[in-house]
Amino acid sequence: MFPQFGATAESLSKASTAVFRIGTDAHLYDDPDDVNIAPLLDSKFDSEKCEALKRLLALISQGFDVANFFPQVVKNVASQSLEVKKLVYLYLLHYAEKRPNEALLSINYFQKDLGDTNPLVRAWALRAMAGIRLHAIAPLVLVAVGKCARDPSVYVRKCAANALPKLHDLRMEEHASAIEEIIGLLLNDHSPGVVGAAASAFTTVCPNNFSLIGRNFRKLCEVLPDVEEWGQIMLIGILLRYVIARHGLVKESIMFSLYNKDHSNLDEDEHYVTSKEDAGYATEKTVSELTRTIFQCYIEGPDEYLSRSSSTIKVAPKLDESQYTSCSNEIVKILLQCTSPLLWSHNSAVVLAAAGVHWIMAPKEDVKRIVKPLLFVLRSSPASRYVVLCNIQVFAKAMPSLFAPHYEDFFIHSADSYQIKELKLEILSIISSDSSISFILKELQDYIRDPDRRFAADTVAAIGLCAQRLPKMAITCLEELLTLIRQEFLCGEIRSLDGEEGVLIQAIMSIISIIKLEPAIYEKVIIQLVRSLDTIKVPAARAMIVWLLGEYCSLGEIIPRMLSTVLKYLAWCFTSEELETKLQILNTITKVLLCIKGEDSWTLRKIWTYVIELAERDLNYDIRDRSRFLKKLLSSNLESQNVEEENGESQKKDQKRVVAECIFGVQTKTSTVPSEPINDRFYLPGSLSQLVFHAAPGYEPLPKPCSLPNIDQYDGSDKSDLDEVDDSGTSGSSDEENASDYSSERSISGSSEVSGSNETVSGNEGENNDDPLIQISDTSNVNENQNGGDHAGTSGFSDLMSTKSLESWLDEPSKSSKGSETEQSGVRRSSARITIGNIGSRIKPKCYTLLDPANGNGLMVNYSFSSETSSISSHLVCLQVLFENCSLESMFDIVLIDEDSSKSVDSTDQISQAAENTVKSHIDKPALVSMEEIPSLEPGQKAKRTLLVRFHHHLLPLKLALFCNDKKFPVKLRPDIGYFVKPLPINIEAFKDKESHLPGMFEYVRSCTFNDHIVKLNKESNSLTEDTFLVICETLALKMLSNANLSLVSVDLPVASNLGDASGLCLRFSSEILNNSMPCLITATVEGKCSDPLIVSVKVNCEETVFGLNFLNRIVNFLAEPPVTHS
């Protein structure tokens, strides 16, 4: 009637949903790419950038690859808006590993952010930087983490702890000790939040470095309740492992059964044992066996355990008394005390972890305190309920008495998932005891009528298990099962409902398992079952009943008498049976035939022949085969009976009979519950492996008890870190600590004597003097000088390593500048300066092969980096390329071009345009200034060309294509970071001034050994002592200058150093980075005896951090290289 109203209502509702979605990001998720994202990213408005980034995130979450926006996104790292930053970080971390080169570009911004005053910015920067996962920046991240580990903000320190596993993940063995050092520092943090994160890092990085724990054990225990819940989970595990490794297991705990092989001991305090009759003892024994298996698994790891048990005899490596401690042990007490309140945690994972500790370590009578908390956890989410039940199941197996009084908690709710129902049923059957079984049975009877038939079938199986556990109740259970079967067929035709069949089959299986316990009592039950054959139609159930008949055919008095009737019935309905029943009928008749003697045997034989004949003509080949087999096997038997004890009883026939009797096991032995070898796998409580039943990668069993050396200092609370006796992992660090203390002391004493002479001579550098000139400025205070030289190295180190100074972050700028001042003055005051003259002419740049004649049809191309710098662009590096024709034919048109240049010239035009816009994009694009073509090269002829190359990255090789005779050879040009700089000729004062502006983050130190001089010294063994120093200086300088484009600033020698001791020798080089002219200063300080390999500690000061670090690595690498023997 009013259609317009209806329409309004509809549009209104639409509008209301629209209103509801206004202001959300719905439109961004729905169509993320309906606008052009690229220009938005370059927008100068933060809101537009945000929108673009959100669209990218939406694309990511929808599974699109938007990595191609990477360069543009990275640029926005510099944004001041925190939201933009956060979104960029989200994007960056998603793709960083795919685009390492571009990711590197963001490092400088992170570095800047690390110095921000806002802790949130610092933390984010650290998280993003550590998350990028590039080997190239790992040392840088390590430095940053080291600093952030001393940050005043708890949040930043926490992030630092979380960053350590990221570093560890890069598998850099050389940094392992530094990482562990930082973990130690963070574990000692006064804020519980940080300790928790550090505990997690410890577990991932160095789970067995117990010395870190030993130091702080008491403190960690005290702080445990205040740690965040997630950290608690980790920390509990660590403390448990530590105590076992250090003090061993507890004598009063359940674990003690490992040592004590006597079962009776275990049974003592388990009350239900005493009320048990002999028959129950068998199961009891298996329980204690199981307990031992479980704990053996905890210590050894199940794979080890199983391989041993399957191989030969079970020789458990018996733990001796010494590997046990008493629960009166102080440390064990503390551990139990600090974990027990955690059983009240609202986080179920914490509860389970704490319960695990008590399970393993607590005295037997105290273990029960874990029960209630565990049961309470069952009330939390269904997912965690499943996990907890899996663990309870193991606990209950090992110690059923623990949970026996709480059977009600395992009663099943209809809303439980199937897995949970299954677990609860199993636990119920494990913990059932004489006092509770009647309640449990009542409950189980209810479950049988549950609409979920699979669950009902499981319930029936559980009833069978209960009966086996408690033989007293067997009859009650049996009656229950029999009524069930009667009911099942009462409800008429069992229709195609497979569930129903399952229940029936399971019921009969349970009955059989009960009968097995003591067949003699249950004769009537067997008869009852056999009588019900007429009504039971399920083939599997029929087969089982037939089997039962055969198995117990000679039992009691009634069964043998009814045999012939029953077998006649079976023979009569043979043709209409299913396969499995048919097979079973064949078996059973054979069995009966073999074991029954007397008046019936004739009838039986007739039935047998009849059935065999039927079977021989069956449609199924299995049945035909079986019948033939049986016929052959029993033919002798039948004959022998025909002939009735006559003389010619052949040996062969007798054998056949024996075989037949063996196969069909005529003797009905009173079987007991076979104590099968326990082949279950057990893993530590609360572990993932326990849920998936295999050792997940990274799973570790408990440490071997008492595997830690016995050192008194462990467990100490107030021990200072320094007098710790450590393993090799941390010994290095404590050395460094000493060094750092030492150096800071020195710097103070040095600064008090600043008024040194400043008449140090600026050497006669330019002169081409063959004789080196040593000028002695000040002979006093030799040691001071040495320390001054040292200081450069150690101060850098202390920044990296020191565990002491939390305050260093705060007053670092002042301190380090002071340090360099003192150093400056120290050097000025008391050093001799050496001038090495003709070094320039002796520099031999290293030659690399670009193409060897084997691959290049006889064309050999070598290249070396030249110390010249390009006049065209500061981004170009000069190379000398030497072409040589080694073949016998001449070559034409040799040219070397960029591989990508096939993308034609116009693309380079674009590049140059782009280069004007942004700085980054033109760094990305490698370029090769086109080389002058070599028109022809005769055999044996050489040609030299200078090449100008723009490497897009200073670590990755550049792909080039070499054309020769119209053939293309792909070649790779490896960059040498040593030539990404050009010499910066400055004097020593300027050097020191620049150096003082580049402290802290911009300073990196590494050490290496240097051997080159030894060869030289051996050659000139007759020379004077001064010459030894000189040779060292020369070889070192030469090596440096031959491998990198540097300028030598100064060489300082400790004036009155001992003969043959080169310590304190200090060489300074300067350079500037080609493309941005930032200075890059190198100081190499020598330590050690002249005649031995020297330790050279190289320090690089450079504002461009990534570059600086890579440069340092390169220097250290080439210094450590064996000397090149010059011709």
Partner 1 sequence: MLQCIFLLSDSGEVILEKQLTGHRVDRSICNWFWDHTNSQPNSYKQQPVIASPTHYLFQVCREGITFLACTQVEMPPLMAIEFLCRVADVINGYLGGLNEDSIKDNFVIVYELLDEMIDNGFPLTTEPNILQEMIAPPNIVSKVLSVVTGNSSNVSDTLPGSTASCVPWRTADPKYANNEVYVDLVEQMDATINRDGVLVKCEINGEVQVNSHITGLPDLTLSFANPSILDDVRFHPCVRFRPWESNQILSFVPPDGQFKLMNYRVRKLKSTPIYVKPQLTSDGGICRLNVMVGMRNDPGKTVDSVNVQFQLPPCILSADLTSTHGTVNILSNKTCTWSIGRIPKDKAPSMSGTLVLETGLERLHVFPTFQVDFRIMGVALSGLQIDKLDLKTVPYRFYKGFRALTRAGEFEVRS
Query: In the complex with partner 1, which residue's Cβ is closer, 227 or 1062?
Result: 227
- At 880 the three-state DSSP class reads strand
- Phi then psi for residue 718, to 5 deg, are -105, 5
Is 492 a binding residue for partner 1 by CB under 8 A? The answer is yes
Is 97 a binding residue for partner 1 by CB under 8 A? The answer is yes
Is 450 a binding residue for partner 1 by CB under 8 A? The answer is yes
One-letter-per-residue 3-state SS of 1042-1086:
HHCCCEEEEEEEECCCCCCECCCCEEEEEEEECCCCCEEEEEEEE
Q: Which of 108-116, 158-166, 1093-1101, 1103-1111 is the region at the interface with partner 1 (rule: CB under 8 A)?
A: 158-166
Task: State the Cα–Cα distance between residues 163 and 336, nearest whole angstrom.
Answer: 31
Q: Which of 125-133, 300-308, 594-602, 614-622 is the region at the interface with partner 1 (rule: CB under 8 A)?
A: 125-133
Is 57 a binding residue for partner 1 by CB under 8 A? The answer is yes
What would the x/- binding string for partner 1 be over residues 409 to 448, using CB under 8 A? --x-xxx-xxx-------------------x--xx-xx--
Is 259 a binding residue for partner 1 by CB under 8 A? The answer is no
Is 169 a binding residue for partner 1 by CB under 8 A? The answer is yes
Instruction: Give the nearest distance from C-beta 41 to partner 1 in angstroms.
Output: 16
Is 375 a binding residue for partner 1 by CB under 8 A? The answer is yes
Query: In the complex with partner 1, which residue's Cβ is closer, 20 or 281?
Result: 20
Which parts of 802-841 interact with partner 1 (CB under 8 A)?
Answer: none
Which pair of tokens denotes residue 185? 């520092």
Query: In the complex with partner 1, which residue's Cβ is closer, 163 or 586?
Result: 163
Question: CA distances (Å), 82 to each of 57, 124, 125, 366, in order?
Answer: 16, 10, 11, 53
Is 50 a binding residue for partner 1 by CB under 8 A? The answer is yes
Is 697 a binding residue for partner 1 by CB under 8 A? The answer is yes
Is 452 a binding residue for partner 1 by CB under 8 A? The answer is yes
- At 411 the three-state DSSP class reads coil
Q: How many residues bind partner 1, per CB under 8 A?
A: 121
Comparing CA positions, the residue from 582, 589, 492, 491 lying closest to residue 539 is 582
Is 35 a binding residue for partner 1 by CB under 8 A? The answer is no
Query: In the complex with partner 1, which residue's Cβ is closer, 484 or 827?
Result: 484
Is 511 a binding residue for partner 1 by CB under 8 A? The answer is no
* Strand (E) or helix (H) holding 967: strand 967-973
Instruction: Give the nearest distance from C-beta 203 to partner 1 in angstroms.
Output: 9
Is 1019 a binding residue for partner 1 by CB under 8 A? The answer is no
Which pair of tokens denotes residue 569? 């019935």
Is 331 a binding residue for partner 1 by CB under 8 A? The answer is no
Task: State the Cα–Cα distance between residues 151 and 160, nearest whole angstrom.
Answer: 9
Residue of the chain from 383, 725, 754, 761 that contacts partner 1 (CB under 8 A): 383
Is 135 a binding residue for partner 1 by CB under 8 A? The answer is no
Query: In the complex with partner 1, which residue's Cβ is closer, 202 or 979?
Result: 202
Instruction: Give the nearest distance from C-beta 24 to partner 1 in angstroms.
Output: 4
Is 381 a binding residue for partner 1 by CB under 8 A? The answer is yes
Angle between helix axes 418-431 and 437-448 (nearest 10 degrees) is 150
Instruction: Give the nearest distance from C-beta 261 to partner 1 in angstroms.
Output: 31
Which pair of tokens denotes residue 923? 């760094």
Task: State the Cα–Cα distance between residues 379 and 428, nearest whole angstrom.
Answer: 17
Instruction: Give the nearest distance from C-beta 23 to partner 1 in angstroms.
Output: 3
Q: Which of 83-91, 142-150, 241-249, 607-615 is the region at the interface with partner 1 (rule: CB under 8 A)?
A: 83-91
8 Å CB contact between 833 and 1052: yes
Instruction: Give the nearest distance from C-beta 367 to partner 1 in angstroms.
Output: 16
Residue of the chain from 79, 108, 188, 230 that contacts partner 1 (CB under 8 A): 230
Residue of the chain from 10, 269, 408, 852 that contacts partner 1 (CB under 8 A): 408
Task: State the Cα–Cα distance between residues 582 and 613, nearest whole angstrom.
Answer: 13
Is 549 a binding residue for partner 1 by CB under 8 A? The answer is no
Is 344 a binding residue for partner 1 by CB under 8 A? The answer is yes
Question: CA distances (Å), 1016 to each of 465, 632, 1020, 1023, in order?
Answer: 86, 95, 6, 11
Is 233 a binding residue for partner 1 by CB under 8 A? The answer is yes
Is 386 a binding residue for partner 1 by CB under 8 A? The answer is yes
Is 64 a binding residue for partner 1 by CB under 8 A? The answer is no
Is 989 a binding residue for partner 1 by CB under 8 A? The answer is no
Query: In the complex with partner 1, which residue's Cβ is closer, 687 or 822?
Result: 687
Instruction: Give the nearest distance from C-beta 238 to partner 1 in angstroms.
Output: 13
Is 920 a binding residue for partner 1 by CB under 8 A? The answer is no
Residue of the chain from 123, 245, 891, 1080 that contacts partner 1 (CB under 8 A): 123
Residue of the chain from 42, 43, 67, 86 that contacts partner 1 (CB under 8 A): 86
Instruction: Give the nearest distance from C-beta 379 to partner 1 in angstroms.
Output: 5
Residue of the chain from 562, 688, 774, 961 that contacts partner 1 (CB under 8 A): 688
Instruction: Give the nearest distance from C-beta 162 to partner 1 in angstroms.
Output: 4
What residues contact residue 403 under an 8 Å CB cut-off, 6+ apart? 371, 392, 395, 396, 410, 427, 431
Residue of the chain from 532, 689, 740, 1045 that contacts partner 1 (CB under 8 A): 689
- At 1031 the three-state DSSP class reads helix
Strand residues in 420-519 grouped as ranges (E): none
Using only C-alpha atoms, what is the Rg of the chain?
Answer: 42
Instruction: Give the nearest distance from C-beta 533 to partner 1 in angstroms.
Output: 21
Residue of the chain from 130, 183, 612, 1041 that contacts partner 1 (CB under 8 A): 130
Which pair of tokens denotes residue 268? 């003592």
Residue of the chain from 37, 77, 353, 592 that contacts partner 1 (CB under 8 A): 353
Q: Which of 323-331, 405-413, 867-875, 1090-1098 is the region at the interface with partner 1 (rule: CB under 8 A)?
A: 405-413
Comparing CA positions, the residue from 1080, 1035, 1027, 1090 lying closest to residue 1058 is 1090
Q: Which of 57-65, 629-637, 792-800, 827-835 is the region at the interface with partner 1 (rule: CB under 8 A)?
A: 57-65
8 Å CB contact between 232 and 196: yes
b/e per residue 914-929 (b: at least 16 CB within 10 A): ebeeeeebbbbbbbbe
Residue of the chain from 318, 495, 652, 669 that contacts partner 1 (CB under 8 A): 495
- Phi then psi for residue 538, to 5 deg, are -70, 120
Q: Are strands 877-885 and 942-950 parallel, antiparallel or unpaired?
A: antiparallel
b/e per residue 720-748 (b: at least 16 CB within 10 A): ebeebebeebbeebbebbebbbebbebbe
Task: State the Cα–Cα distance between residues 323 and 706, nearest whole angstrom.
Answer: 6
Instruction: Give the nearest distance from C-beta 416 to partner 1 in angstroms.
Output: 9
Is 706 a binding residue for partner 1 by CB under 8 A? The answer is no
Alpha helices (H) along 573-682: 579-595, 601-616, 621-643, 651-664
Burial of 397 (0-12, 13-18, 19+ CB in 10 A): buried
8 Å CB contact between 183 and 202: yes
Is 225 a binding residue for partner 1 by CB under 8 A? The answer is yes
Rounded to 10 degrees, what is the CA torsion of 327, 328, 334, 336? 30
Instruction: Give the nearest distance from C-beta 698 to partner 1 in angstroms.
Output: 4
Task: State the Cα–Cα distance between residues 636 and 656, nearest whole angstrom.
Answer: 7
Which parts of 180-219 interact with partner 1 (CB under 8 A)?
Answer: 191-193, 197, 200, 204
- CA 1068 vs. chain centroid, Å, equals 43
Is 24 a binding residue for partner 1 by CB under 8 A? The answer is yes
Q: Which of 42-50, 522-530, 582-590, 798-806 is the region at the interface with partner 1 (rule: CB under 8 A)?
A: 42-50
Residues making up the chain, counted from first to last: 1127
Is 384 a binding residue for partner 1 by CB under 8 A? The answer is yes
Q: Are strands 847-851 and 891-898 parallel, antiparallel or unpaired?
A: unpaired
Tokens 């802790």: give the residue: 119
